[in-house]
Structure 1
């Protein structure tokens, strides 16, 4: 799977992890994103992340189900 580049809106300094998963299409809703995170399949910068609303900032990388998301400044 090709890496996904996610530009943060310039008016926001972060996006919540569960919302990021929804916004890039890895799940259908924020609730489904929370379930993914809780299941232990999501990694942030190489480490398993269990905080569903963890703040993801530009420069971080998220991995889930074979997808890699690079969060960049918009």
Structure 2
């Protein structure tokens, strides 16, 4: 793997995650397809599987990204 490829990996994961957050918020997770997310982020399905394992894994990452800071702030104050 090249250095440029390694540098892009966090960016790809973050693009997928941000797009999923926006689409899940707009349409819900059940009506949003992975295909919509991959087309919008210009990545392939393998990238979603690589970073998140599945659509459910992506949903868990979305919930952690959105609700995690709130949850942690409630439990550490």
Instruction: Report the structure number with the largest CA radius of gyration.
Output: 2
Question: Same-fold call, TM > 0.5?
Answer: no
Calculate the TM-score normalised by the size of structure 2.
Answer: 0.35
Which structure shows the higher strand fraction? 1
Q: Whose relative contact order is higher, 1 or 2, with alpha carbons under 8 Å and at least 6 apart? A: 1
Which structure shows the higher helix fraction? 2
